[in-house]
Amino acid sequence: MTFAALALMVLPALLASLTLGGDAAGRAVAVRTPQSEGFTIATAPYQFVFPRDQAAHDGYQTEWWYYTGHVTTAAGRRFGYELTFFRVGLRPGDPRPLGTQSRWRGNELFPAHFALTDEQGKTFFHVERFSREALGMGSASESVLDVRALDWSLRGAPSGRPDFERMVLHASDDSAAGRNAIDFVQMPEKPPAIHGHGGVSRKSACESCASHYYSYTRLHTTGTLSYHGEKMTVDGLSWMDHEFGSSELEPNQAGWDWFSIQLDDKRELMLYSLRQKDGSVTPESSGSLIEADGTVRYLPRSAFATEATGTWRSPHSGATYPSGWHVRVPSAGIDLVLAPTVLDQELAGTSSGISYWEGAVDVRNARGANAGVGYVELTGYAGNVSI
């Protein structure tokens, strides 16, 4: 789950009356308020059908398509990247504009985040886009995978299989240091992993505190990456989360730690711990272990442990984040040490003024040998995730 802070990206002036929280892993979602009444809530049982469920789900208030990954150039230079598209419904049941209606009419917002980590140069770049449905600036199809936020895009392409499509990503930004961009094609190597029980991933005890959440945990990634004007052909491995729901968190939840781990033995882990304002962990925090054959095993909070091994203080926000982790799943023989590839991977100074840390990590086993790669997202350390 990854809830890269919807609240972090939504303009406060447009959603001033909506309190936002975060999903169990990293994207932020709305706490139940009068503004979210009337939207569909995630309930069990839910039967995912692919490729249909790769597309948008307009009945739910919040939704995101979230990609992270590690790619390598022919010369061996490695980059981490993040690209996330959000869809936010403003009014439940309001149909999309007809061709005869004003082009200024719109009922959805489409924020998006793009980040690159240069692991060799130890530098980090991030930028955001914010678009409305009005004037065709942003869109997300309910019938096919086709999402846009201004000139950034995610679309499906034929894969040769009936149960999923390839995914084609584009994002770019022309800065003073030169062009930063990705043009990637993603091919799943495993079927989608469904998290939780009965098609529902719970975030707390309340009825609406849940989402429908699946991941493509092993995506073969090919294409080009531009960094500070230098364009490079790359190859690598990515992770994709797609989550949709309405009002998933409660007011006493302050933030979350989310982990995606891709092991060299072809297993993957998704873990999230939702933190309460009193410092405790929400009991509904959970995870998934995806076996090499694609089998998904649900992990309750008691089945895993994540312990910070250090801290890092941000020079941008002044927040102190955990930095480095010991991750264990005893029943699966998993004992790992995670370390950021670059310490400063904080997305600071977003349009809402809220900062969070999301970055690439190296994964080693208890003996210190390379064991895989991963991404970690940390929210609520630079202030409560709310607006």
Query: Which residue has 């873990």 as its token pair?
Result: 271
pTM: 0.89
Of 322, 302, 319, nearest to 256 (Cα)? Answer: 322
**What span, in angstroms and rounded, lies between the C-alpha atoms of 111 and 57?**
16
* Whether 117 contacts 80, CB under 8 Å: yes
pLDDT of residue 177: 82
* Token pair belonging to 101: 């209606």
In a domain, 274, yes or no: yes
In a domain, 168, yes or no: yes
CA angle 191, 194, 199 (to 5 degrees): 140
Residue segments in the chain with a per-residue pLDDT below the cut of 70: 1-36, 93-105, 248, 351-353, 383-387
In a domain, 273, yes or no: yes
Instruction: List phi, psi (to 5°) of 235.
Output: -145, 145
Of 18, 65, 24, 15, nearest to 255 (Cα)? Answer: 24
pLDDT of residue 136: 79
In a domain, 385, yes or no: no
**What span, in angstroms and rounded, lies between the C-alpha atoms of 206 and 217?**
28
Chain mean position to CA 357: 12
User: Amino acid identity of 52?
Assistant: R
pLDDT of residue 98: 65
Kind and range of the H or E run holding 119: none
In a domain, 199, yes or no: yes
pLDDT of residue 97: 62
In a domain, 368, yes or no: yes
Of 209, 190, 325, nearest to 259 (Cα)? Answer: 325
Of 348, 353, 295, nearest to 321 (Cα)? Answer: 348
Q: What is the CATH number of the domain that holds 123?
A: 2.40.370.10
* Token pair belonging to 321: 């984040």
**What span, in angstroms and rounded, lies between the C-alpha atoms of 146 and 126?**
23
Residue 361 to residues 63, 323, 336, Cα–Cα distance (Å): 25, 10, 12
What are the beta bridge partners of residue 226? 181, 231
In a domain, 102, yes or no: yes
Provide the domain count of the chain: 1
Q: For residue 331, is it left (φ>0), alpha (ψ between -120 and 50) or beta?
A: alpha
Range of the domain at 340: 6-379
From the DSSP assignment, how many helices (H) and strands (E) are in the chain? 1, 27
Query: Which residue has 């061996």 as its token pair?
Result: 76
- pLDDT per residue over 3-59, tens digit each? 433 443 343 334 433 333 334 333 433 344 444 678 999 999 999 999 999 999 999
Q: Any idea how long the chain is?
A: 387
- pLDDT per residue over 324-375, tens digit each? 999 999 999 999 999 999 999 999 877 666 789 999 999 999 999 999 999 9
pLDDT of residue 13: 35
* Whether 26 contacts 379, CB under 8 Å: yes
Tell how strand 201-202 and strand 210-227 pair up.
antiparallel
**What span, in angstroms and rounded, lies between the C-alpha atoms of 235 and 73?**
7
Chain mean position to CA 92: 24
First and final C-alpha spacing in the chain: 21
* Whether 203 contacts 212, CB under 8 Å: no
In a domain, 387, yes or no: no
pLDDT of residue 58: 92
